[in-house]
């Protein structure tokens, strides 16, 4: 998606050659027009699939996934990274190692919000090693829900997550795919 690639080029900051900071428009300060354009794009890509629910993981996936859910006319469900007092014990859970924080979260979704035979589209901001998607797919499997596919804003194609999931038959649609990046030479898209 040209608009997202342009924005990454102008406002993205490459950190340590494997982390891209997009806090100016995507996951700290948020550009709603760009989120809306991304949602329209995912809707176009998945318009032939039945989608009953959008699933993401807190926190930075929520804004774009909300826009996508609005576009599809379905609810947005987000997996919580930590157990809080207002979440029941009746949950589907999966361990997810965070790429950016290095810690392992026990990611949870309340059973009453995810049902057998629902068709789920998973949305997230980044795809790196595929841990977050693997955890969300696992949670859908526990519920007996089908994963229609995944919509990703930025896939770092030089990291293994995308290839690994595609090999396992998961449909991944990434709006920007980064071939390589470093703080000296900038960002090259696939």
Q: Is 176 helix (H, G, I), strand (E, B) or coil?
A: strand
| Pair type for strands 119-127 and 146-156 | parallel
78 is a contact residue toward ligand 5GP (CB under 6 A): no
Query: Min. distance of Cβ 21 from ligand 5GP in angstroms?
Result: 6
Report how far residue 94's alpha carbon sits from residue 103's, in angstroms, rounded to the nearest whole number. 14
Report how far residue 182's alpha carbon sits from residue 154's, in angstroms, rounded to the nearest whole number. 16
Residue identified by tokens 């920007």 is 176
126 is a contact residue toward ligand 5GP (CB under 6 A): yes
Of the candidates 25, 72, 99, 105, which one interacts with ligand 5GP according to CB under 6 A? 99
Query: Min. distance of Cβ 35 from ligand 5GP in angstroms?
Result: 15
Q: Which of residues 53-72 bind ligand 5GP (CB under 6 A)?
A: 57, 60
Query: Min. distance of Cβ 22 from ligand 5GP in angstroms?
Result: 6
Alpha-carbon distances, residue 77 vs 28, 58, 74, 116 (angstroms):
20, 10, 10, 15
Q: Is 106 helix (H, G, I), strand (E, B) or coil?
A: strand
Give the x/- contact pattern for ligand 5GP in 14-53, rule: CB under 6 A.
Answer: -----xxxx----x--------------------------
Residue identified by tokens 């428009």 is 25
The smaller minimum CB distance to ligand 5GP, of residues 4 and 22, is found at: 22
Residue identified by tokens 């926190």 is 59
Of the candidates 124, 136, 172, 176, which one interacts with ligand 5GP according to CB under 6 A? 124
Which residues would be at the binding site for ligand 5GP (CB under 6 A)? 19-22, 27, 57, 60, 99-100, 124-132, 161
């Amino acid at each position: 998606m040209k608009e997202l690639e342009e924005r990454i080029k102008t406002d993205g900051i490459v950190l340590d050659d494997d982390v891209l900071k997009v806090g100016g428009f995507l996951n700290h300060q948020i550009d709603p027009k760009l989120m809306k354009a991304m949602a329209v794009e995912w809707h176009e890509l998945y318009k032939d699939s039945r989608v009953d629910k959008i699933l993401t993981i807190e926190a930075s996936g929520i804004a774009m996934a909300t826009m996508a859910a609005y576009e599809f006319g379905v609810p947005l469900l987000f997996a919580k990274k930590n157990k809080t007092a207002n979440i029941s014990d009746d949950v589907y859970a999966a361990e997810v190692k965070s790429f950016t924080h290095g810690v392992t979260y026990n990611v949870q979704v309340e059973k009453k919000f995810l049902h057998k035979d629902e068709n789920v589209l998973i949305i997230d901001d980044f795809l790196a090693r595929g841990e977050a998607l693997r955890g969300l797919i696992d949670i859908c499997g526990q519920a007996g829900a089908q994963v229609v596919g995944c919509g990703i804003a930025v896939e770092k194609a030089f990291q293994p997550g995308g290839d690994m999931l595609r090999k396992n038959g998961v449909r991944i649609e990434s709006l920007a795919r980064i071939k390589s990046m470093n703080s000296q030479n900038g960002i090259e898209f696939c």
